[in-house]
Amino acid sequence: MKPWDPLDRAALVLGLVSIASAVFVFASGELEIVRVQVAGVVVASVLGLLAIAAGWLESSALAFAAGVLFLLAGVVQLVLLAGGSGSFLGGNSSTFSLWLGLGVGLIAIGMVPRPELAEESPSD
Amino acid sequence: MASTEYAPDTDNPTDTDNPTDTGDTARPVSFLPSRIDRAVIAVVRVGVGLLWLQNLGWKTPPNFGKGDPPGGLYLSTTYAVSHEVLHPYALLVNQVVLPNFTFFAWMVLLVEASLGAFLTFGLATRFWALVGMAQTVVIMLSVLNAPNEWIWSYLLMVLVHAALFATAAGRYAGLDGVLRPACLPSQSWLPRLLVRVS
């Protein structure tokens, strides 16, 4: 099994977190930490899969792209809320915050300078 | 995310440039030696991040509760005047914040959204822990004397953010833990900035 670069592993984990956040579609009341409805599940799943692909394929560019798309989704969510009308994404400010974190995180992973393949110390 | 990249021996990034430092043996050494300690700090950080994140849910643009009857963030803000905690702060809210409420409400939303985002994922954690302390003080000055408030809620929030700052909590299962080692050798301003705020 290949050793994961921590940056790729982080992209993968962020993708999994995004997909896991879809579970809040079933939550209500105090347990609704993030508001996610059907359109939000689609966004979280598709972009989450993109982030997982970025980690799996060790692609900085893909991680960056996934981050930009998350930020874009967050901004759209915020603009819809600012418009005051019912948001077709079905989220609220907490959804914006979650996608902001995923977006900035993936963009940072995509931008960070990658160290040369390590002169790894094979410790046991 | 990162489970093995921890704080170097020193917190000062410039020390890594120093050839007289511990040299080739400068292997990262964890500030928190126990895996359980690190896991607990990570859980606390994520929990605090989710606290901010969930409490954005009732801060709803574009009115933020300004209306008849008032509610949400607007009502909370008026408590600073109607249930005064500190006179100069009440004056500031009455003279500056409430007349420009929409602007300040958006600022609150953006700051708290960033707190939720950055603390949950452990990015630039030390900086955002400080922001969290400041924001908690602002909230405390607004609502502390309102009905059903408990001062220790806010003192505990300040203290937990202080703990996140002191332990550099984003380095444990957070993005700081994976980004920091990659940024340490860089001379560019953005990676250097990330090193300083993580």
Question: B101 lies in which domain range?
Answer: 66-173
Q: Which of B83 and B11 is assigned the larger pLDDT? A: B83
Question: Is the minimum CB–CB distance between B5 and chain A shorter than 8 Å?
Answer: yes
Chain B residues inside the 8 Å CB shell of A14: 121
DSSP state of B24: G
Joined together, the tokens standing for residue B109 give 């939303």
Contact B198, B180 (CB under 8 A): yes
Mean predicted lDDT score pLDDT of chain A: 89
Cβ of A51 under 8 Å from any chain B Cβ?
A: no
**Which residues on A lie below 8 Å from B191 (Cβ)?**
112-113
Closest residue by Cα to residue A64 from A117, A95, A98, A105:
A105
Q: Is there a contact between B120 and A13 if contact means CB atoms under 8 Å apart? A: no
Distance of alpha carbon B125 from alpha carbon B118, whole angstroms: 7
The answer to which of A86-95, B165-174, B184-193 has the lowest mean pLDDT is A86-95
Question: Is B21 part of a structural domain of the chain?
Answer: no
Model confidence, pTM: 0.87
- What is the reported pLDDT for B33? 75
User: What is the nearest CA distance from A91 to chain B, expressed in angstroms?
Assistant: 9
Residue B2 lies in a domain: no
CB contact A3 to B (< 8 Å): no
Q: For A24-28, A74-78, B4-8, B104-108, which range has the lowest pLDDT when averaged over its residues?
A: B4-8
Dist. CA A53–CA B71, nearest whole Å:
44
Task: Check residue A116 and give its pLDDT.
Answer: 61
CB contact under 8 A, A97 and B117: yes
Cis peptide before A6, with omega less than 30 degrees from 0? no
Is the peptide bond prior to B147 cis by the omega test (within 30 degrees of 0)? no
Q: Return d(Cα B77, Cα B105) in angstroms, integer.
A: 9
B197 contacts: CB under 8 Å, gap ≥ 6: B124, B125, B126, B127
Over residues B177-183, mean pLDDT: 93
Q: What is the ipTM of this complex?
A: 0.89
Q: Give me the pLDDT at residue A115, please.
A: 64
Cβ distance of B63 and A84 shorter than 8 Å: yes
Do residues A45 and A19 make contact, with C-beta atoms less than 8 angstroms apart? yes
Residues A14-25 pLDDT 10s: 999 999 999 999
Return all residues near B137 (Cβ < 8 A) that are at least 6 apart. B154, B158
pLDDT tens digits, B5-44: 444 444 444 444 444 444 444 555 667 778 899 999 999 9
What is the percent of chain B where pLDDT is above 90?
A: 76
Contact (Cβ atoms closer than 8 angstroms) between residue B84 and residue B136: no
State the pLDDT at residue B84: 96
Three-state DSSP string of chain A: CCCCCHHHHHHHHHHHHHHHHHHHHHCCHHHCCCCCCHHHHHHHHHHHHHHHHHHHCCCHHHHHHHHHHHHHHHHHHHHHHHHCCCCCCCCCHHHHHHHHHHHHHHHHHHHCCCCCCCCCCCCC
Assign residue B64 a region: left if phi > 0, alpha if psi is -120 to 50, beta otherwise?
A: left
User: How far is residue A61's CA from residue B107's CA, in Å, rounded to a whole number?
Assistant: 32
CB–CB contact B175 A105 (8 Å): yes
The alpha-carbon gap from B43 to the nearest alpha carbon of chain A, in Å, equals 15
Instruction: Provide the pLDDT confidence category of residue B65 given band limits of 50, 70 and 90.
Output: very high
Instruction: Give the total number of structural domains in chain B.
Output: 1
Q: Which residue of A has its CA nearest to B188?
A: A113
Helices (H), B55-174: 72-82, 87-92, 101-121, 125-143, 151-166
pLDDT, residue B186, reads 87
Estimate to the nearest angstrom the gap between the alpha carbon of B167 and the chain centroid: 13
- Using an 8 Å Cβ cutoff, are B103 and B152 in contact? no
Confidence of residue B116 (pLDDT cuts 50, 70, 90): very high
B149-178 confidence digits (pLDDT tens): 999 999 999 999 999 999 999 999 999 999
| Lowest mean pLDDT segment, chosen from A82-86, A90-94, B82-86 | A82-86
Question: B7 lies in a domain?
Answer: no
B162: Cα separation from own chain's centroid: 9
pLDDT at B179: 95
Asked if residue B148 is part of any domain, the answer here is yes
First to last CA, chain A: 17
- For residue A122, pLDDT over 50 is answered with no
Give A90's pLDDT tier (boundaries 50, 70, 90): confident
If one compares A2 and A79, the residue with the highest pLDDT of the two is: A79
- pLDDT reported for residue B89: 97
pLDDT of residue B21: 43
Give B188's contacts in chain A (Cβ within 8 Å): 113
A59 burial via Cβ count (<10 Å: 0-12, 13-18, 19+): middle
B interface mutation test: which of A85, A94, A99, A104 has the most B CBs within 10 A? A94
Contact A81 B56 (CB under 8 A): no
CA distance A98 to chain B (A): 6
Select from B57, B181, B186 the Cβ nearest to the Cβ of A94: B57
Cα nearest neighbour of A36 on chain B: B57
Q: Which residue has the higher pLDDT, B26 or A68?
A: A68
Of A82, A100, A112, the CB nearest to B117: A100
